[in-house]
Structure formats: C-alpha cells, structure tokens
Amino acid sequence: MDKKLIIAIDGYSSCGKSTFARLIAKELNYIFIDSGAMYRAVTLFCMRKNYINFRSLNTSAILSEIKNIRIDFVFNPDLNEYETFLNSENVEKEIRGMEVTAHVSKISQIHEVRERMVELQRQISVSEGIVMDGRDIGTVVFPHADIKIFMTASLDIRAKRRHSELKNKGVKIDFDEIKRSIIARDIADENRDISPLRRADDAIVLDNSRMTVDEQMLWIKQIIDNKRNGS
C-alpha cells in the first residue's frame, strides 16, 4: 500500500490554495484541512463577542476564552464538502465574508491564538494522510511534511479570481477594493512577528497565474509519483 503522505500547501491569499488542496485530498482520498478557516472561525467568535472591531482589540478577553473555542470540519454529503463549525454551529458562509476577512489578520497575529491553532492542527490524525493549506504549514505546523508547495500568482489574477468568487456568491464589491484587501493581507501575512508567511527552504514554488486547475493537478500528480518512487 502507498505510504500516507503529509502535503503542506502554503502561499499568498487568493491563489487558489484551498481549491487545489481540496482536489488533491479528493484524488488521494486524504483528509483536507483549510487552516485559514480556523483563523476565520476564531475571528468570527471574537467579532460576535465584540472583542474585535474596527477601533479596538481586546486581546486579554480573547486569551481567556481561547480554550472555549471549538472548531470542527463536518462533512456535508449534499455538497460533498467539509464545512466549518464553530462551537457546533455551521459558520462556513459567514467566515468567508468581507468583515471576517478584514479582521482575520489581526487575530492571526496573536501569539496564543497561533499556538492553539497549531496544537489543534497537529492533533488531526496524520495516519490517514492529510493535505493542509495555510501560511505556516510547511514551516511551523508540519516542518517534516513529505511534500511542501508554496503557491503564488500575480496580484491581478488573484484579485480577478476573488472578484468572481464573491460575485458568484452574490456579494457586490469593487475590484479595486479587493486589490487593496489582498495587498493589505500580503503585508500583514509577510510581516507579522510570529510565523510570517515565507517559503520553506524545501518547498516547491507553484506560480499558477497561467495554469488551469487541471494543469495544476497534472503537475502535483507528477510530484506525488516522484515522491512515492523515491526520485
């Protein structure tokens, strides 16, 4: 039987990391974990309690409750997808909205929040084979991952993809605002003190600006085959 692999997919926001990671997991029959969804769920929890808003951030209140935040990924057979649950409530739609997106960088900069998320991410059974996407998976969460991919794409392409994704969901938003939000998140992701976004030394770069999803899948299958054949 093939060895179960740990596949870490890191990179910039709106590069299609989750789509790619999800498809790889389906192809291999592995568990898929969208670690960004976990930071988004914590952010939503904090917004609802008013621990974060556009003017203030109550870090000590967040820290006192961090252990009470439960995040689960529950399979929805109708959609054939996993959905994110926050303390037993399905929050999959809400965590993708612009307001959570606007606050998530601040929450993901809090040291104890990151510590807790990494702890939860490592607890997920790896004996099954896992594909996890995020910002620090190959560098911090699974530094010994079997395959590490670092994804990037041009700013315009990323903004276009995000724009059509939101449009499909019925969210009306100006293209330039999306661009500004992506730039702001890149800066926050790359410059935070703890676990900033960076390519692991042994990660393979995938610039998918001019690649279709099918082309990306062919590319990764080759890498997986090489890994399994020891080349």
Taking the complex as a whole, the smallest distance from the CB of residue 137 to ligand DC amounts, in Å, to: 6
Taking the complex as a whole, the smallest distance from the CB of residue 172 to ligand DC amounts, in Å, to: 20
Residues 12-71 touching ligand DC, rule: CB under 6 A, are 13, 35-36, 39-40
Length of the chain equals: 231
Answer for the pair 204, 150: CB distance below 8 angstroms, yes or no: yes
Number of residues that bind ligand DC (CB under 6 A): 14
Q: Taking contact as CB under 6 A, which single stretch among the options 75-83, 131-139, 168-176, 209-217 is the one that binds ligand DC?
A: 131-139
Taking the complex as a whole, the smallest distance from the CB of residue 110 to ligand DC amounts, in Å, to: 10
Secondary structure (3-state) at 196: coil
- Cα distance between the two ends of the chain: 18
Q: Is 134 in the site for ligand DC (CB under 6 A)?
A: yes
Comparison of 24 and 137: residue with beta carbon closer to ligand DC: 137
Residues 77-116 touching ligand DC, rule: CB under 6 A, are 104-105, 108
- Token match 């556009």: residue? 54
Comparison of 21 and 220: residue with beta carbon closer to ligand DC: 21
Comparison of 122 and 228: residue with beta carbon closer to ligand DC: 122
CA distances from 33 to 16, 173, 177 (A): 14, 28, 28
Comparison of 28 and 92: residue with beta carbon closer to ligand DC: 92
Which residue in the set 47, 189, 206, 220 belongs to the binding site for ligand DC (CB under 6 A)? 189
Which residue in the set 116, 148, 163, 185 belongs to the binding site for ligand DC (CB under 6 A)? 185
Taking the complex as a whole, the smallest distance from the CB of residue 60 to ligand DC amounts, in Å, to: 21
Comparison of 109 and 218: residue with beta carbon closer to ligand DC: 109
Taking the complex as a whole, the smallest distance from the CB of residue 133 to ligand DC amounts, in Å, to: 7
CA distances from 163 to 16, 177, 182, 184 (A): 13, 10, 11, 16
Q: Which residues of 129-168 are buried (b: 16+ CB within 10 A; e: fewer)?
A: bbbbbbbbbbbbbbeebebbbbbebeeebbbbbbbeebee
Beta bridge partners of 7: 131, 147
The residues, ordered by sequence, that sit 6+ positions from 73 with a Cβ below 8 Å of its Cβ are 33, 34, 37, 82, 83, 84, 85
Taking the complex as a whole, the smallest distance from the CB of residue 119 to ligand DC amounts, in Å, to: 13
Which residue in the set 15, 62, 136, 220 belongs to the binding site for ligand DC (CB under 6 A)? 136
CA distances from 115 to 81, 112, 125, 220 (A): 27, 5, 18, 30
Given the rule CB under 6 A, which residues bind ligand DC? Answer: 13, 35-36, 39-40, 104-105, 108, 134-137, 185, 189
